[in-house]
A and B are shown apart, each in its own frame.
Chain A
Amino acid sequence: MFYCAHMVHSHIAHFYALAAPDFVLGPTSDPAERNILGVVAKVGLEIGGEVIKHRAYAQDIQNTIGGKATHPVFGLPGGISKPVTEEERKGFEEKARSEVEFAKFSLKLFNDVVLENKDYLALITGDIYTMKSYYMGLVDSQNRINFYDGDVRVVDEDGKEIVRFSPAEYLDYIAEHTEPWSYLKFPFLKKTGWKGFIEGRESGIYRVSPLARLNVADGMATPLAQAEYEKMYQTLGGKPVHATLAFHWARLIELLYAAERLLDLSQDKEITSPEVRTIPTATPDEGVGIVEAPRGTLIHHYQTDNNGIVQKANLIVATCHNYPAMNMSIKKVAQAAIKKGEEVSEGLLNMVEMAFRAYDPCFGCATHTLPGQMPMEVTIYDSQGEVVRRLSQNLPDR
């Protein structure tokens, strides 16, 4: 229930604050307006209020269960920190009902604003935002999406399962490549091997994300989300979907799934049980946990000494899994958008950002610098390797 609330809050924030400006205002619209304030100005204050309200509902559920919504004091060895009271449960149920309605509304908004706009649909299904890759995600015993339990399933570019493994086996299937120009590693499927930054079956590059989860699953575990899942694949020409911008659509389908699960769990008779923790007595030695974070598969692996003190920790987070693909998606848009003899506009920078933004990357956001804008530079070379033009935003003075 806590985790579903977390998904709801994260997916609402990403869609409305980060993805919607590109579609509601347009990819090449004035950057001063292309933000959540512009979205609210266009779709109306009432809808803006609903966004904030439902995001806050999800935060409130996490806050009540976990003490704090961000950095909760909740998960403990052997269970959780405190039980849910009946009064709290009633509040959760009421909020969850509202979240389901809001998720349905969000999908309708996506339909009206994005899918009914032929240009946007062409942008989503077009080649420049398409990348064929393997996909990875957790599934339950019936191959339906599960955010925090089950096996990891990997499918190929045709949607065929190529491996399925339990969390403890992850090192048998995933390895990491390094490049001298980056301190982030590049994970790849061991079975295929690292073949460089290439697309398709021959490459070991895979993707995680809401869309990856839908691609690896045979369906959703809740009825309304299942209907939306079927609609997406029907509209986009069957499974799997390789359209990077469809990550946003998948994110909203997951929003609906998370809201439905939240409602189911808030009505579960066991949810107010006072039995919330069995304190473990054995000294731990090694453990691997895999969950689906909002932006994709998250692996934690710990080894301890005889006193149970952690000696070794390995984390592969969603942004890391997606790092090779992110580089390729960005390159593909830049190469397609820059045409000989044509003016390179600010809109181009945003088209490139859109490829990046779809992954909802989570690089360190915690630095505090002024002016605090996202620095970016695009350098255009001619066929001789000479710099033709540099286009930049928010770079420090040199």
Chain B
Amino acid sequence: MKTLVLGLGNPILSDDGVGIRVAQELKDSLDPAEVTVTEAGVAGLDFLDLLTPYDKAIIIDAIQTREGKPGQVYRLKPEDFMATQHACSPHDVNFATALELGRRLGILLPQEIVVFAVEVENVTTFNERCTPKVAQTVPVVVDMVMRELNGG
């Protein structure tokens, strides 16, 4: 089974880089023959190109919800994003739309997609580090991904 661990975000935009940090931590401890660990700063239709060759994908990204507290981690599935099928950007389609499009067109996508979303505090300040509460969450998410890879 081919598995992808994908850290998403912008590494120089404070907490937005949390997914990248987790991917970087995981890179050295996973066998590249079994798991591909990669980082990207893409969205929308670009997802299809990234996910296509894999059976399972674990995505780590930053999230901001209305009542969320920085450092909280949510384990989400693609169906959790279905409420956002309207265009959220005037510039590209969103995650749920891209996945649904891929499915309808018969593009081979991972059978299982898990998203670890880390509630973040600051995604507007240029900084190569996450804020303290989010930084403390990085090893926690690394553990969660490892457990996910080992079958939960």
Q: Are B85 and A35 in contact (CB under 8 A)?
A: yes
Chain B contacts of A18 at CB under 8 A? 87, 90-93
B107 to chain A, nearest CB (A): 7
Which B40-78 residues have a C-beta within 8 angstroms of A?
40-46, 48-49, 61-66
Determine if A365 and B92 form an interchain contact, defined as CB atoms under 8 angstroms apart.
yes
B4-52 at interface with A (beta carbon < 8 Å): 10, 13, 16, 40-46, 48-49
Q: What is the 8 Å Cβ interface bit string for chain A, positions 292-309, against chain B (1 contact, 0 not)? A: 000000000000000000
- Of B41, B87, B92, B102, the contact of A71 (CB 8 Å cutoff): B41
Interface string of A354-381 (1 = CB under 8 A from B): 0011001111011111111110000000
Q: Are B104 and A48 in contact (CB under 8 A)?
A: yes
Residues of A within 8 A of B62 (CB): 368
**Of B86, B104, B106, B123, which one neighbours A368 at CB under 8 angstroms?**
B123
Contact B41 A52 (CB under 8 A): no
Instruction: Compute how far the CA of A365 lies from the CA of B45 in the bound complex, rounded to whole angstroms.
Output: 14
Which residues of the partner chain A approach B40 to less than 8 Å between Cβ atoms? 70
- Would you call B146 an interface residue if the criterion is a C-beta within 8 Å of the partner chain's C-beta atoms? no
A315 on the B face (CB < 8 A): no
Within 8 A of B (CB), among A47-80: 48-49, 52, 55-56, 59, 69-71
Verify A368–B49 contact, CB threshold 8 A.
Answer: no
A374 touches which of B66, B87, B105 (Cβ 8 Å)? B87
- The answer to whether A36 and B93 touch across the interface, beta carbons within 8 angstroms, is yes
Distance in angstroms between the alpha carbons of A37 and B49 in the assembled complex: 18
Q: Cβ of A212 < 8 Å from any Cβ of B?
A: no
Which of these, B10, B86, B90, B106, contacts A361 with CB under 8 Å?
B90
Report the separation of the CA atoms of residues A45 and B46 in the bound assembly, to the nearest whole angstrom.
19
Tell whether, in the assembled complex, residue B88 and residue A374 are in contact, meaning their CB atoms are under 8 Å apart: yes
Q: How far, in whole Å, are A175 and B36 apart by their CA atoms in the complex?
A: 48
Band of interface residues on B: 35 or more
The distance in angstroms between the C-alpha atoms of A362 and B43, with both chains bound, is: 14
Q: Report if A373-B90 is in contact (Cβ < 8 Å); known contacts: A48-B104, A70-B42.
A: no
B13-A366 in contact (CB<8A): yes
| A58 nearest CB across to chain B (Å) | 11
> Do A374 and B45 have beta carbons less than 8 Å apart?
no
- Contact at B94–A17, with CB atoms within 8 Å? no
Do the beta carbons of B45 and A373 come within 8 Å of each other?
no
Q: Which of B118-143 contact A (CB under 8 A)?
A: 120, 123
Question: In whole angstroms, how far apart are the Cα atoms of A259 and B14 in the complex?
Answer: 38
Question: Given A40-B104, A45-B104, is A70 in contact with B41 using a C-beta cutoff of 8 Å?
Answer: yes
A residues less than 8 Å from B48 (CB atoms) = 52, 56
Q: How far is the CB of A43 from chain B (nearest CB, A)?
A: 12
CA distance in complex: A278, B104 (Å): 48
CA distance A374 to B85 in the complex (A): 11
Q: Which residues of B contact A373 (CB under 8 A)?
A: 84, 86-88
Q: What distance in Å separates the Cβ of B23 from its nearest Cβ neighbour in chain A?
A: 15
**Which A-chain residue is minimally distant from B42 (CB atoms)?**
A70
In the assembled complex, how far is the CB of residue B150 from the closest CB belonging to chain A, in whole angstroms? 27
Q: Which residues of B contact A365 (CB under 8 A)?
A: 43, 89-92
Instruction: Say whether B83 contacts A52, CB under 8 Å.
Output: no
Closest residue on chain B to residue A46 by CB atoms: B105
* B88: A residues at CB distance < 8 A: 372-374
> A13: CB under 8 A from chain B?
yes
Considering the chains assembled together, what is the distance between the CA atoms of A374 and B84 in angstroms?
A: 10
A13 touches B64 (CB 8 A): no
A31 at the interface (CB under 8 A from B): yes
Shortest Cβ distance from A366 into B: residue: B10
Partner of B94, one of A31, A32, A45, A372: A372
Q: Is the CB of A56 within 8 A of B87?
A: no
**A74 smallest CB distance to B (angstroms):** 15
Q: Give the 10 A-B residue pairs with the shortest CB-CB distance, closest first.
A: A372-B84, A372-B88, A365-B89, A373-B86, A369-B64, A70-B42, A17-B93, A368-B63, A48-B105, A368-B62
B interface residue numbers (CB < 8 A to A): 10, 13, 16, 40-46, 48-49, 61-66, 81, 83-94, 97, 100-102, 104-107, 117, 120, 123
Instruction: Write 16 A-B pairs (CB below 8 A) sorted by A numbering.
Output: A35-B87, A35-B93, A37-B97, A45-B105, A52-B102, A59-B46, A59-B49, A70-B40, A71-B41, A360-B91, A365-B43, A365-B90, A365-B92, A368-B61, A368-B63, A369-B65
